[in-house]
Amino acid sequence: MILWGKISHFSVFMVLQLLASDHKSGLLELEDNEERSTIFLGDGMVAAVSVPRSDHLLGAKLVKAGYMSQSDLRKTMLAAALRESKREFLGLTLMKSGLVAPELIARTIAEQAYDNTLELSNWVQGTFKFIVPRRPVVFSASPKINVQHLLLETSRRLDEGQRPSRNKAALPGDDLCATCSSNCSEEQKDKYLKDGICLWRNMSVVVRESIFSPGRHRFNEDGERVIDLPFL
């Protein structure tokens, strides 16, 4: 099975939710002109989120947490590079090495997944491709993160002011507003829409499909409007 598309048409988080809802297992590969990323899925759960150019590299996090030394990390990576014809995910290499307990690696992979998902929140250009490899990637101690919880946590961090460490190209302001479900006033647009970036809501995480139109808002029993997360 191969699923392919443009991130500008279907956001990373929308595709991730689609795959999770159908309990898919495989690799969601993301790519733009600057970098590549891979989300590892197992039965609709996130096993790991790899963003090679991010500031949240697994090896660095393990060293910072005191689970292994910088010297041991360097030796393990060098030995793996000499031994393997194709580079594998560092978490698998470290589990095979026995230098770090599997449960500690799983905990760090989970922390990395949350950090790297925040990095992916501003991916608005590029392509996504979901593939099911012939030989599935199996993690010996996968954290198995629920996608809904992962996205809710990302939304919470964004609401608290946390932002990805690296800026990415954004869609033009007109494109954002034309497909946004927030239905802002002109005053709000003048105040918060700057150089194609919406400061009111980190628009890079908002799904830009027409199914999220302003006319589909829900209301509770008291008649108050319920604001759903746009990518849920």
Q: How many CB atoms lie within 10 A of CB 225?
A: 9
**Parts of the chain with a pLDDT under 50:** 202-218, 225-232
100 and 62 Cβ atoms separated by less than 8 Å: yes
Q: Quote the pLDDT of residue 130.
A: 95
Q: Quote the pLDDT of residue 26.
A: 93
pTM: 0.66
Question: Using CA atoms, how far apart are residues 21 and 17, in angstroms rounded to an integer?
Answer: 6
Q: Quote the pLDDT of residue 211.
A: 30
Q: Quote the pLDDT of residue 213.
A: 34
Q: Quote the pLDDT of residue 115.
A: 92
Q: Quote the pLDDT of residue 33.
A: 78
Residue 112 in tokens: 């990395």
Question: Using CA atoms, how far apart are residues 97 and 112, in angstroms rounded to an integer?
Answer: 20
Place of tokens 């297992």: 25
Residue 181 in tokens: 């479900």
Q: Quote the pLDDT of residue 231.
A: 32
What are the residue boundaries of the structural domains of the chain, listed by start? 2-159, 173-226
Q: Quote the pLDDT of residue 209.
A: 34
Q: Quote the pLDDT of residue 66.
A: 93
Residue 200 in tokens: 């009111």
CA distance readout (Å), 86 to 79, 90, 122, 132: 13, 12, 30, 18
Looking at the DSSP bridge assignments, the partners of residue 128 are: 5, 30
Question: Using CA atoms, how far apart are residues 17 and 3, in angstroms rounded to an integer?
Answer: 14
